[in-house]
A and B are shown apart, each in its own frame.
Chain A
Amino acid sequence: MQNLYLTIVLAPLFGAIVAGLFGRFISRSVAHGVTIAGVALSTVLSLYVFKHIAIDGGEIFNGTVYTWMVSDGIRFEVGFLIDPLSAMMMAVVTFVSLMVHIYTIGYMHDDPGYKRFFSYISLFTFSMLMLVMSNNFLQLFFGWEAVGLVSYLLIGFWYKRPSAIFANLKAFLVNRVGDFGFLLGIAAVLMYFNSLDYADVFKAAPLMADMTIQVIPGIEWSLMTVICILLFIGAMGKSAQVPLHVWLPDSMEGPTPISALIHAATMVTAGIFMVARMSPLYELSTTALGVVLVIGAITALFMGILGIIQNDIKRVVAYSTLSQLGYMTVALGASAYAAGVFHLMTHAFFKALLFLAAGSVIIGMHHEQDIRKMGGIRKYMPITYWTMLIGSLALIGFPGFAGFFSKDAIIEAVHLSSTPGAGFAYFAVLIGVFITAFYSFRMFFLVFHGKERMDEHTREHLHETPWVVTGPLIALAIPSIFIGALYIGPMLFGDFFQGAIHVSQERDVLALLGENFHGWFGFVLHGLVAPAFYLAAAGVGAAWFLYLKRPDIPEMIRGRAGLLYSILDRKYGFDDFNDKVIAAGSRALGRLLWQVGDVKVIDGLIVNGAAKSVGWFSGVVRYVQTGFLYHYAFAMFVGLFVLIALFVF
């Protein structure tokens, strides 16, 4: 089996190397041919692995590929752990990646960096697979940073644009803040478990449950809480949780296919995956779970609100991604890991769909992204319209669509949860449903319905995009409808994960929920009478009323609620704070240490000062050497007199 897994990982890497390093020797079609072939091979094999491990209950694989190094008696290894959790992630990652590869042929058709782009997305696929297939913390961190690197390269893909190269630097640095915590978490794991292997760590974890350490002298903290929170800081960076979310909206500077692949479907869910993978550790710390829950709830609610005032089609979708990541995090905090991962899966399909559909609109509109300049596109782009509608319905959790099952499960789970902060989280995710429906359909109506607000030239050229674009939309629309109904039973209430996710008895809200679960259809029927459904319906209705029926009202509200609007417009001030306090502060500190510390004190006072004082001293001593014989004779005479005096007395 190991060769199979190696092939899954290395096939995209091979494609990336060919397209990247030998790009100048091969044609465009060879570049996309070889990368697509590599990813397609990975996809087919991953689907096979998914069937073998997750559906047929095949044997879980846990093996070493090679020993990275041995230091101090500890073996650091590169290896794979293939259980249902990683098998599911592999299937999702490779499938979405394949769709995005195909879509890219159409989207990047006129771009001079065509081959480079294919190289990057294949490299991303490799890195992401390394991350999810890892059986140890070291390789996890490798994949973690490698996807960060590719994200950096892709956000800055159009490296001439000032906004793009600002955004990619910001993304990398904010992620590094998360990784900073993550690395310390890994160091803590190594210190107390003497191993970075998942299996060893998870086995030993329960024995450490009551251990306390003093990070700040005098205050005892539970070891597990410290480890889990440090690791979660990493997840906050990668999965864009408040306050480390600031990079994700700006990452939309990258080409749309990667917004779909990296900044919606896969990479940003790495943090969710990681916490689910670490469930045996998180289950040992109620405090850490509480932190996860509250951070997730804040992200879910407040980032959703920002989606309402965005006018860039991609940014609306980006804020919805932030908000949905918050939902997943809430699920993790409520110990409903399976629900979080389930939402991760459904979200990967419908959010990739939404982004690619938005990209299709952008192609049709000749790279115009402002939804105020769209409207009535429905009749020009029917396939895009219908697939976007499916994606939006899935996103708002319309009963029967994929997102409904996963999101409703999260809401119900939080309702039952007793983790600290669950009350607030329940409130946040419920309000979030209304807000999600509102901004999603605000965008949907503004783009596809109503008056045609684009200029004449654009309208004349407006038509449906080619099949390489619409094909992936349709391929993603299918799971966006069905995947929820198909997998809610096994994944949430069955034995799908076979021990890959560990939940302690007293916190197992999904088990409680499962008692009332009677098949997916019953779940839909129950959903129709639950508050979430009415909130979603209200959201769609409000969007319809305010943006199609009475578009004058939003204008009026904006005029009246100036302060509120400006708070939202400044995104609660996170960016301003980071720019003016953290970035500017760091530069000021650097200048201070340099100009005062190095130049003035060390060089000016000590180094050159020492040189000057030597000069000064020699200047003084020089006066002694007058060159007059009688001066020297006098000095000799005095010296002789002193010596004699010393000897005699």
Chain B
Amino acid sequence: MSFELPLLSLVVWTPIIGGLLVLAIGSGKHVLEARVVALLVALFTFVISIPLYVLFDTTTHQMQFVELYPWIERFNINYHLGVDGISMPLIILTTFTTVLVVLAGWEVIQYKPAQYMAAFLIMEGLMNGVFAALDGMLFYVFWEALLIPMFVVIGIWGGPRRVYATIKFFLYTFLGSVFMLVSLIYMYFQADSFAILDFHALKLGMTAQILIFLAFLLAFAVKVPMWPVHTWLPDAHVEAPTGGSVILAAIMLKLGAYGFLRFSLPMVPDASRELDWLMIMLSLIAVVYIGFVALVQKDMKKLVAYSSISHMGFVTLGFFIAFTIFENTGSWKGAAMGIEGGIVQMISHGFISGAMFLCIGVLYDRVHSREIAAYGGVTNTMPAFAAFAVLFAMANSGLPGTSGFVGEFMVILSAFKADFWIAFVAALTLIVGAAYTLWMVKRVFFGEVANDNVAKLKDINAREFVILSTLAAAVLFFGIYPAPLLEVMGASVQHLLEHIAQSKL
């Protein structure tokens, strides 16, 4: 590779600096300029993230586009960036989603719009930082810094109970990450380095591994979120503005799942193997328990929030099914499919949940209610919008031909190798997922026009059409042709599997 541009630094810092710029412009009366600049920054960041895919070498598991500069030499902390086949797609998902979020907030946000846009741009940079960081301390800094803009977004542009929601969100996630910090520092003393790859190679005793695993679990499980530390998510979603919900669902939940892949599994493989039953159990509870909870929600955002938790259960299930497959079949064959399925599910859920929250946003902007009961017969007045909504609902139910199917399919196939009953419980989502999603669609979109608000609805405008059709294209593309995505991650997942198959004891 002959290019010299520090691409990863660019995708991390462009939006952050751009966000500060937007703040500077928009503090006066230049609202429109601030919006335009924000959009340009988001688009530019997306464009410069594309070479990460185009120039990516799919044949190796090695970190690519690596940048390494000393940062705090006394503690051997480095500014160390790099991506592999697992993190690169997530960065592109982030830059892609941010463009849509900026567009989605275009004229909807009237209160301090520049600050709103700036918060999302800064968040984008920090999220890219989390995915690209190869130094534990750098990772931690990005990880924690991320809480601030999200806290601000919910706290300022949120709904009536935003204070309760923000504090719950902050305490929950902060509580988790403190334990992660302790683990990182412990491993630093063992390895004399904060480099994530050094942590991967570090030998650790079983007790240490178990404690570290549990600490990581707390940090990551809150973010995913996994049952029973999930109750912050519905509250946060309900209070967050549309853009906040989209970023929260599409990207922030992925941070936790990414943490399992980058930290828990490779750093403490023996503990992961020892406690995989716990992970499988929690994942299955997420899939089924949360599915039933979603069924009875009266608030659309809560319903989709619970649906997110349920879908993320497939991600963690796919990641931790590997050991059971090995125990029950004596071979690792099928394990890669579970992990890859989990990653595909992460990407796909980014599109679909983002789209679902945007759809709810479209309705909320017009009627100012998220209650399912406030709607009925929306198809009569918004036919084009209804077509999009039904498509995304079908994707959310995992219909083949949409991206929502691919990940679930792979995880179920993989889980079957581990145990019939794990696959059985996981596959229940086929029924429950369709039930809660389509029942909501029925009550909101079908039927006679329910009330005056619905009768006065105007169909989506050009801006909303562009946003939704972009997402629809993504959802369909990866449903019909997921091969490119799988090709990117193949080598990295294979390497990860080989790594966790080795005991560290």
Measuring CB to CB, which residues of chain A are less than 8 angstroms from any residue of chain B?
A: 66-74, 141-142, 144-146, 149, 152-153, 156, 159-160, 162, 165-166, 169, 172-173, 176-177, 179-180, 183-184, 186-188, 190-191, 194, 215, 586-587, 589-591, 593-594, 597-598, 602-603, 606-607, 611
Interface centre among B228, B394, B400, B405 (most CB of A within 10 A): B400
Band of interface residues on B: 35 or more
**B410-A146 in contact (CB<8A):** no
Chain B, Cβ-Cβ closest to A145: B400
**A74-B228 in contact (CB<8A):** no
Q: Does B334 contact A (CB under 8 A)?
A: yes
B503 to nearest A CB, angstroms?
23
**B296-A591 in contact (CB<8A):** yes
Q: Which residues of A contact B380 (CB under 8 A)?
A: 160
Q: Which residues of chain B from 405 to 444 have any CB-CB distance to chain A below 8 Å in the complex?
A: 405-406, 409-410, 412-413, 415-417, 420, 423-424, 427-428, 430-432, 434-435, 438-439, 442
**A176-B333 in contact (CB<8A):** no
Q: Which residues of B contact A68 (CB under 8 A)?
A: 481-483
Query: Which among B293, B420, B486, B490 is the interface contact of A598 at CB below 8 angstroms?
Result: B293
Q: Does B379 contact A (CB under 8 A)?
A: yes
**A71-B400 in contact (CB<8A):** no
* C-alpha spacing A149/B441, complex, angstroms: 14
* C-alpha spacing A187/B340, complex, angstroms: 16
- Given A180-B427, A180-B431, A72 contacting B292 (CB threshold 8 A): no
Query: Which among B171, B172, B428, B447 is the interface contact of A165 at CB below 8 angstroms?
Result: B447
Chain A, Cβ-Cβ closest to B291: A590
* C-alpha spacing A69/B478, complex, angstroms: 10
Q: Which residues of B contact A180 (CB under 8 A)?
A: 427-428, 430-431
**A176-B431 in contact (CB<8A):** yes
Query: Which among B394, B401, B412 is the interface contact of A187 at CB below 8 angstroms?
Result: B412
* C-alpha spacing A607/B486, complex, angstroms: 39
Interface string of B446-470 (1 = CB under 8 A from A): 1110000000000000000000000
- Given A70-B483, A589-B292, A142 contacting B400 (CB threshold 8 A): yes
- Given A69-B486, A160-B377, A183-B430, A586 contacting B447 (CB threshold 8 A): no
- Given A69-B483, A169-B442, A594-B296, A183 contacting B410 (CB threshold 8 A): no
Q: Does B168 contact A (CB under 8 A)?
A: yes
Q: Does B280 contact A (CB under 8 A)?
A: no
28 A-B contacts (beta carbon < 8 Å): A68-B482, A69-B485, A71-B341, A71-B486, A72-B335, A72-B337, A153-B390, A156-B446, A159-B379, A159-B446, A160-B377, A160-B380, A173-B431, A173-B434, A173-B435, A173-B438, A180-B430, A183-B409, A183-B412, A184-B423, A187-B413, A191-B413, A191-B416, A194-B333, A590-B292, A590-B296, A607-B168, A607-B172
Q: Which residues of chain B from 99 to 142 have any CB-CB distance to chain A below 8 Å in the complex?
A: none
Q: Which residues of A contact B491 (CB under 8 A)?
A: none
Q: Which residues of B contact A152 (CB under 8 A)?
A: 438
Q: Which residues of A contact B294 (CB under 8 A)?
A: 590
* C-alpha spacing A104/B354, complex, angstroms: 38
Measuring CB to CB, which residues of chain B are less than 8 angstroms from any residue of chain A?
A: 168, 171-172, 228, 231, 289, 292-297, 333-337, 340-341, 377, 379-380, 390, 394, 399-401, 405-406, 409-410, 412-413, 415-417, 420, 423-424, 427-428, 430-432, 434-435, 438-439, 442, 445-448, 481-483, 485-487, 490
Chain B, Cβ-Cβ closest to A74: B337
B455 to nearest A CB, angstroms?
13
Q: Which residues of B contact A73 (CB under 8 A)?
A: 333
**A593-B483 in contact (CB<8A):** no
B421 to nearest A CB, angstroms?
8
Q: Which residues of A contact B427 (CB under 8 A)?
A: 180, 183-184
* C-alpha spacing A68/B483, complex, angstroms: 6
**B231-A160 in contact (CB<8A):** no
Query: Which among A66, A146, A184 is the interface contact of B401 at CB below 8 angstroms?
Result: A146
A152 to nearest B CB, angstroms?
8
Q: Which residues of B contact A141 (CB under 8 A)?
A: 400
**B435-A586 in contact (CB<8A):** yes
Query: Which among B295, B297, B410, B446 is the interface contact of A71 at CB below 8 angstroms?
Result: B410
* C-alpha spacing A606/B232, complex, angstroms: 12
* Known A71-B340, A156-B446, A176-B435; further 17 A-B contacts with Cβ < 8 A: A68-B481, A68-B482, A69-B483, A69-B485, A72-B333, A72-B334, A142-B401, A145-B399, A153-B390, A160-B377, A165-B446, A173-B434, A176-B434, A191-B413, A590-B295, A591-B296, A602-B231
Q: Which residues of B contact A590 (CB under 8 A)?
A: 292-296
* C-alpha spacing A72/B377, complex, angstroms: 45
Query: Which among A215, A587, A591 is the interface contact of B420 at CB below 8 angstroms?
Result: A215
Q: Which residues of A contact B293 (CB under 8 A)?
A: 590, 593-594, 597-598
Chain A, Cβ-Cβ closest to B481: A68
**A165-B435 in contact (CB<8A):** no
B115 to nearest A CB, angstroms?
29
- Given A145-B400, A159-B446, A598-B231, A179 contacting B482 (CB threshold 8 A): no
Interface centre among A190, A594, A607 (most CB of B within 10 A): A594
* C-alpha spacing A602/B172, complex, angstroms: 13
**A593-B400 in contact (CB<8A):** no
Q: Which residues of A contact B445 (CB under 8 A)?
A: 159
**A70-B438 in contact (CB<8A):** no
Q: Which residues of B contact A589 (CB under 8 A)?
A: 292
